Structure 1
Amino acid sequence: MKKTFLHLEKATTALAMLGACAMMAVAASLGMYQIITRFVLESPAEWSEVLIRFSLIWMVFLGIPAAFRQGAMVSVDVLYRWSSARIKRVLDWVVSLASLLLIAVIVWWGWDYAQRGAVQSMIGLEGVSMFWAYLAMPVGGVFTALGIVGNLLDPQRHELETQQ
């Protein structure tokens, strides 16, 4: 069961990271396009700025799961180094449960916000609902929850181990 979950979590975290990288490439490309149209052609495209913001939001929420999976988001390094193995495991559980609680709030309210924003359209992108921008919160939150549980089951602390 644990092995199956860790395999699923690894696949979902890799998928989320692939999405985050794609959104970063989109944002960078559109940023360059925006610079060229604004300063070279002197005819800025208003839709590109909106899509840059949209892609940056998705990039952040899809990149968070990888950070949680590696144990890089919530850092209690000093306390962790000074603790015994048993206390370290207690710290893992406390940090994971607190993080899961926060992510649950983000998923809950993010979904509610996305539903409420479905009636709005993006400025510069007529016909595209704000639902798609706000959906980044619950989608990223679900991926993040899997990463948190994956880190709890199989902690990754390579940077902590090499600095001792």
Structure 2
Amino acid sequence: MFKFIQGIDHGLARIERGLVIGLTGAIAGIMMSQVVMRYFFSAPIFWAEEISVQMLVFATLFGLSLLVHHGMLVSIDFLPRALSGRRRHALLAVLGGVMLALLAFVAWLGWEWVARPDVRLELGATTQLPRWYNYTVLPLALTVMAWHQLAAIVREVRALRGAAQ
């Protein structure tokens, strides 16, 4: 079961990494095209800014999820570092549980919000595309972050069991 959870965790991280790299490249390509079209041909791409901002939000959210996967979020860790062995793993598992509960709750609120009929009717200003698909990225990224946090808790519990033996 441990290998299964960690395998899914690493697979999601690989997908997110590719997504963030692809989105960043697409933003750069769209904005370079926008500059060329606007200043050399006087024919700006009317949707470039809106789409680029949406892609930037996507890349940011999935980038945050990658930080959760790698355990690289900014944190105050003087207490876990002061502890050793079992106590450190136990504290990190408890703190991870609090973070997991928070991520799961906010993801649930996000899914509830995206499912509302008034949100489903909103359209983009320039593209006239439905905005719900943009909004869905927030609870999706939070759900993946929660998975990464669950995998981290499983690792801490396993390390706690190993330290007990």
Aligning the two structures, in what range does the TM-score lie when normalised by the shorter sequence? 0.7 to 0.9
Partner of 2:121: 119
- Map residues 11-160 of structure 1 onto 2, 5 A cutoff: 11-116=11-116, 117-126=119-128, 128-154=129-155
Q: Deviations over 1:97-155 (max 9, x none)?
A: 222122113212222232332211111112x1101110111111121111112222336
**Cα offset, 1:74, TM superposition:** 4.8
Inter-CA distance 37–113: structure 2 relative to 1 (3 Å threshold): farther
Secondary structure of 1:44's counterpart equals coil
Inter-CA distance 113–40: structure 2 relative to 1 (3 Å threshold): farther
Q: Deviations over 1:29-70 (max 9, x none)?
A: 112122223333333222111110111111122222221111
Secondary structure of 2:48's counterpart equals helix
Stretches of structure 2 that go unaligned for 5 or more consecutive residues are 157-165
1:32 maps to amino acid: M
Contact 1:65 1:148 in 2 (8 A): no
- Partners of 1:27 and 1:113 lie apart in 2 by 27
Contact 2:27 2:56 in 1 (8 A): yes
- Partners of 2:34 and 2:109 lie apart in 1 by 33
Stretches of structure 1 that go unaligned for 5 or more consecutive residues are 156-164
- Partners of 1:104 and 1:54 lie apart in 2 by 23
Contact 2:2 2:154 in 1 (8 A): yes
- Partners of 2:155 and 2:74 lie apart in 1 by 16
Contact 2:122 2:130 in 1 (8 A): yes
Contact 1:106 1:137 in 2 (8 A): no
- Partners of 1:21 and 1:114 lie apart in 2 by 26
Partner of 1:161: none
Inter-CA distance 74–91: structure 2 relative to 1 (3 Å threshold): farther
Q: Deviations over 1:2-23 (max 9, x none)?
A: 1111111111121122112211
Instruction: Give the superposed CA RMSD.
Output: 1.8
Secondary structure of 2:72's counterpart equals coil
Structure 1 stretches of 4+ moved >3 Å: none
More deviation, 62-71/32-41: 32-41
Query: Which structure would you say has the larger Rg?
Result: 2
Contact 2:80 2:92 in 1 (8 A): no
- Partners of 1:119 and 1:31 lie apart in 2 by 28
